[in-house]
Amino acid sequence: MQKRKLGNSGLEVSALGLGCMGMSFGYGAAKDPQEMIPVIRAAVERGVTFFDTAEVYGPFTNEILVGEALEPFRGQVVIATKFGWKLDPEAGKNVGLDSRPEHIKEVAEASLKRLRVECIDLFYQHRVDPEVPIEDVAGAVKDLIQVGKVKHFGLSEAGAQTIRRAHAVQPVTALQSEYSLWTRTPEKEVIPTLEELGIGFVPYSPLGKGFLTGKMDENTTLEAGDFRNILPRFTPEAMKANRALVDLLGSIAAEKNATPAQIALAWLLAQKPWIAPIPGTTKLHRLEENIGAASIELTPEDLRAMESAASCITIEGARYPEHIEKMTGR
């Protein structure tokens, strides 16, 4: 597996990471941790060194899983986790945003224990909190870096202005936001800002929450508790319309002896050398398929052809319901 540096920070990670959320949260019933630990360890054996979790996934159970799975590889891997929610453990859910400095420091202490590490490699603000100035958030993480509890500061779903303000207080190592062939919003302002400031980009949902694999269509029934059930882009009508993008990926995949998922990931890797996507999976064969994307080369001609074809496709359905989309920072 090739390595990539996240911007100017010097933080080196595998070109493809592993998003661990779906093992515990978001896509229906949580998987058995004893079945997921071998998947995480198989990723390490295959060269993946970058793993993504958050306290809110579960809540807490995903960090515990990742901590146990990666304990034998301490010092060999980079673990990213996140703060920024007010959690109600009894209800098992988040009840709002909370990026107050004192709360950030409490979350860091708890995450260190669950992850079984002495220092968090990359600590993201999960969503921008409009009630707390971003300078205060950056300052709190700076304090944690100075005392050796955190190595790198990250933001998630933040806009260009917020990134600049945070970066002025504590250099931002990486931004994590949704980015793929069917969610290209970051291209307008965010990616140019990251390039200017020397910040790495970690796209989540690089396979469109599973849709770009080609394994879903308008007849797909999602499990109860799968959060895609509330996403406008996953209505049967939207999925039917959006198949055009999957068909495009499929036609290029056929030429390259690859799968649509591999082409979608290879496209992201070809955008910038400081982009490291984090596709998630719970299955070993999908993990191997995703890792295979790192060895697929898309030529400038391939990329131009994809751009030209994709520009003719209108994506149907909003990315999130309005109340969630509002949490994207400015």
Active site residues: 57
CB 121 within 8 A of CB 95: no
Can you list the alpha helix ranges (DSSP code H) found in 134-212?
134-146, 160-169, 190-197
Q: How many other C-beta atoms can be found within 10 angstroms of the C-beta atom of residue 165?
A: 15
Residue in the block written with tokens 């109860």: 224
Q: How many other C-beta atoms can be found within 10 angstroms of the C-beta atom of residue 209?
A: 25
- What does each C-alpha distance from 46 to 51, 115, 118, 250 come to in angstroms? 13, 21, 25, 25
β-pair partners for 247: none
Checking phi first, is residue 204 left (phi over 0); if not, alpha (psi -120 to 50) or beta?
A: beta
Q: What six digits make up the tokens of 17? A: 């990471």
Pick from 56, 76, 80: nearest CA to 6: 80
